[in-house]
Amino acid sequence: MAVAKQKKGLFSFDLETGLAIALLILMLVAPLILTDFRLNLMGRFLALAIVALGIDLIWGYTGLLSLGHGVFFTLGGYALGMHLKLIQIPPDAAVKLPEFMGLYGVTELPWFWQPFFSLPFTFIAIMAIPAIAGGILGYLVFRNRIRGVYFSILTQAATIVFFNFFNGQQKLINGTNGLTNFGEFLGAQVTQAGPQRVAYGVTVVLLIVAYGLCRLLVAGRFGRLLIAIRDDEARLRFTGYDPTGFKVLVFAVSAALAGVAGALFTIQSGIVSPKSMDIAFSIEMVIWVAVGGRGTLLGAIIGALLVNYAKSLLSEQLPEVWLFFQGALFLGVVMALPAGLVGTLKTEGMMLLRRLRGQGPIPLMTYPKIAQDPDIVAEREALEKEDES
């Protein structure tokens, strides 16, 4: 007998919801069981998980493999870093300049630094600057119907341009050294344990908000449009939709998430530099999503945490082995677990669990067979009665 298809709510309880609850509990109890150093590391990794969510949104659901999200991550970090450098300037200073500018002979604060004295502007810029940059880049690319490997190459090219530009701006943003040595923020020393715990809490809250936003975007009609773009864009165009606007929007949202992650990572690590625009870092972001399971959202978070914790532990014990492990991990996932950890659990794992319970395979969610259709059955019975009479 066929099984009726049940409606699935936005946050219906399933395997992914169970994993999300377990992860939430882990994040909430972490401040009670981890040292300040380990908690700071976890806060950074949770910030990186926000980037992974954005990449999963555009790659897992929309089919756009970006290899340049390090740019948006760094732009968000610089937005907050510039504010932190400005507010530590003494009020009675004759020339209101960050200390590094004086080393290069700068006598007047550049115009684009001025708005970052304002905290509300900084909070808006953390999201707006990466989103605008992503929207402009996305529009220029998507209006020409560039996709697939060509889109990935273009994002890499954009990363190289930004990386070289930021590296060469010694007078304006301290070049390759980046912005560091931050002082107070909201009346507290950012390097102290108390403010770092607050930053961890803010990161947890924003990660939950980002996850909820992504779940909201991929649910319903908009989410189905994103999947249609991924699976068959030409057919979607044939039905009357223009995918350009949808792709620009989702790319801008993904860039904004990366900017928020960059700001959170900056305040917890104490530095932002063009190093995070390196292509290798953007490729690492893709590996996190692939390991966790693209197209699952929660898999992106789990992948970011697992890979970065493995990187941290191995780099502490065997620093020369990490790069080999990272390459082997990516190859192993692609060949053995193409759906990632969460994706595999949702398919093979659930089927195995049902077999162990003796429930058999999962029944197909489809319409009844024609022979079991009530109208067909009634018509057949009527014909049989006529034959008997």
Per-residue pLDDT of the chain (389 residues; tens, 9 = 90+): 333 344 444 444 467 778 888 899 999 999 999 999 999 999 999 999 999 999 999 999 999 999 999 999 999 999 999 999 999 888 877 778 888 888 888 888 999 999 999 999 999 999 999 999 999 999 999 999 888 899 999 999 999 999 999 999 999 999 999 999 888 887 778 888 888 999 999 999 999 999 999 999 998 889 999 999 998 888 888 888 889 999 999 999 999 999 999 999 999 999 999 999 999 899 999 999 999 988 899 999 999 999 999 888 888 787 777 778 777 877 877 787 788 888 888 776 666 555 666 665 555 444 445 555 666 677 777 777 777 76
Q: Running DSSP on this structure, what letter comes out for residue 188?
A: E
Alpha carbons 258 and 73: distance in angstroms, whole number: 5
**Spatial CA neighbour of 203 closest among 56, 71, 75, 53:** 53
SS3 156: helix
**Among 197, 191, 240, which Cα is nearest to 34's?**
197
Strands 271-272, 188-189: pairing kind? unpaired
Residues 6+ apart with CB under 8 A from 43: 196, 199, 200, 203, 264, 268
Is residue 65 within 8 Å of 282, Cβ to Cβ?
no
Q: What is the pTM of this model?
A: 0.85
- Which pair of structure tokens corresponds to residue 240? 């009357």
Q: How far is CA 34 from CA 28, 163, 303, in A?
A: 11, 35, 20
- Number of neighbours of residue 24 by Cβ within 10 angstroms: 14
pLDDT at 315: 80
Beta carbons of 31 and 208 less than 8 angstroms apart: no
> Where would I find the H helices in 62-192?
69-87, 99-103, 119-142, 149-167, 170-173
Give dist(CA 325, CA 184) in Å, integer: 38
Q: 279, 156 in Cβ contact below 8 A?
A: yes
Q: 147 — phi, psi (to 5°)? A: -150, -175
- In angstroms, the CA 284 to CA 51 distance is 11
Q: Pick the closest to residue 290 from 270, 304, 272 (CA basis).
A: 304
pLDDT for the residue numbered 105: 82
Residue type, 231: D
Break the chain into its structural domains and give their ranges. Answer: 15-316
